[in-house]
Amino acid sequence: MRYQSSIIGIFLILFGILLYVYWMILPVGEKQRLLEEIYNQTKNQSAPTVEKVEKALDISNIILSADSIRYVIAHNYTLGDYLPIQTIEFENIYIKSNIFFGERSKEIGFYFLSGDGIKLSFTVECKECSLKILLNDDKLLYEGVPEKEFELMILSDYLNKGYNKIKFILVPSKNPFSYSEITLKNIKISIVKKSYIKSVFYYQGGNVYLLYDFCPGNPNALTILVNNYPLFVTSCSSFEFGNKLYITDYLKKGRNIIEIHSDGKIIGNFYLEILQKVFYSEFDLPVHNILHVFVSEGEGIVKINQCTYNIKKGLYSYDISKCVSSRNLLVVEPITYLKIEKIIIE
């Protein structure tokens, strides 16, 4: 019995050593893929036992008066910026060569499954060198003497859906009496998505305007869609706020979707001006059935289906479990003037 236990123990130790060696020699990109597969399988297996807590409704900055509503879609928001959603780090790369050995290269691999592109970044230490960077062996991304802090954006159109590799090629100096050397440190690939605005607006009536507080240098670079209808965007109008677009004709009773995209980076504020005094919004069945309201000025009424709550300056939390169903309607009405900083239903 002891002999059998010893054999099993030795076998497990040898298996562990082989597994460790295999992991150490595995390329970084392949490690990434295996870890993603393990993570996704674990996440899918555990999903039924994990409670997913989401806000059924989250609204900020509504101003209601006797004849109009000012509703903030986005405040100080950056459009058209590439935001990292995942970052992969790689080991340092060192390459050395001269005119006799010619170009030398090393490569890294990664998987790209979704997103708008990647950002490649690293720190460079370079001695008499020039660098070429190739994507998937046939796309030249860069050639020249790199800056110490190097960044390069690669859009999704150039990437394979799946495995990709980036090759770093050292081009040595033509001086026959010296070596060229390059060291790449802190190598990172960030998978990025381009920022845009998507807002759901519940419409019951009245004229509606979309306002934004900047003048786009190139109007064609800014795309505004209301229920997939593109709006005509000009450089700027004479309106004191910036631009004011009439969008009532593109709206329908009930749920509407407003999308705003930009080719370049723009920072701005976007508002809806609704020429009526009552604000509406729909929401699904919440998880905890709690309504939170933060009022900074004025007083008014909040309704959740058949339930009514009187509000004025202050912070409120209500149990709405007896008021909600699978589809619900929030109604907010001012007495004379009402400024709400936040409404959250969770």
Write down the CATH number for the domain with range 69-81+195-276: 2.60.120
Architecture of the CATH domain 83-193: Sandwich (2.60)
pLDDT given for residue 15 in this prediction: 63
C-alpha–C-alpha distance, residues 144 and 133, integer Å:
9
- How far is CA 304 from its chain centroid? 31
Do residues 12 and 75 touch, judged by C-beta distance below 8 A? no
Q: How far is CA 324 from CA 51, 201, 302, 330, in A?
A: 20, 20, 14, 10
pLDDT given for residue 241 in this prediction: 47
CATH topology of domain 53-66+277-346: Jelly Rolls (2.60.120)
pLDDT given for residue 41 in this prediction: 44
- The CATH 2.60.120.10 domain(s) of the chain lie at 53-66+277-346
Give DSSP secondary structure letters for 135-193: ETTTEEEEEE---SEEEEEEEGGGS-SEEEEEEEEEEE-S-TT--EEEEEEEEEEEEEE
Which backbone phi and psi does 285 adopt, to 5 degrees?
Answer: -65, 120
Terminal-residue alpha carbon distance, the chain: 60
pLDDT given for residue 6 in this prediction: 60
C-alpha–C-alpha distance, residues 324 and 289, integer Å:
8
Tens place of pLDDT for every residue, the chain, 346 residues? 555 556 666 666 666 666 666 656 655 555 555 555 544 443 333 333 233 345 678 888 899 998 899 999 888 888 999 999 999 999 999 999 888 888 899 999 999 999 999 999 999 998 888 899 999 988 999 999 998 999 999 999 999 999 999 999 998 888 877 888 999 999 999 999 999 999 988 998 899 999 888 777 777 888 999 999 998 887 665 444 458 889 999 999 999 999 999 988 888 889 999 999 899 999 988 889 999 999 999 999 999 999 999 999 999 999 999 999 888 999 999 999 999 999 999 9
pLDDT given for residue 23 in this prediction: 56
C-alpha–C-alpha distance, residues 282 and 254, integer Å:
8
pLDDT given for residue 49 in this prediction: 29
Question: Which residues are CB-neighbours of 75 under 8 A, at least 6 positions away?
Answer: 60, 61, 269
C-alpha–C-alpha distance, residues 43 and 51, integer Å:
13
Which backbone phi and psi does 42 adopt, to 5 degrees?
Answer: -65, -40
Q: What b/e readout covers 152-176, taking b as 16+ CB neighbours within 10 angstroms? A: eebebeebeeeebebbbbbbbbeee
Do residues 131 and 172 touch, judged by C-beta distance below 8 A? no
Structure-token pair, residue 86: 């995942």
Which backbone phi and psi does 47 adopt, to 5 degrees?
Answer: -55, -40
Do residues 131 and 170 touch, judged by C-beta distance below 8 A? yes
Structure-token pair, residue 212: 């934004």
Element holding 25 (H helix, E strand)? helix 2-25
C-alpha–C-alpha distance, residues 43 and 190, integer Å:
22
- The CATH 2.60.120.260 domain(s) of the chain lie at 83-193
Q: How far is CA 314 from CA 57, 330, 332, 339, 343, in A?
A: 19, 19, 16, 11, 12
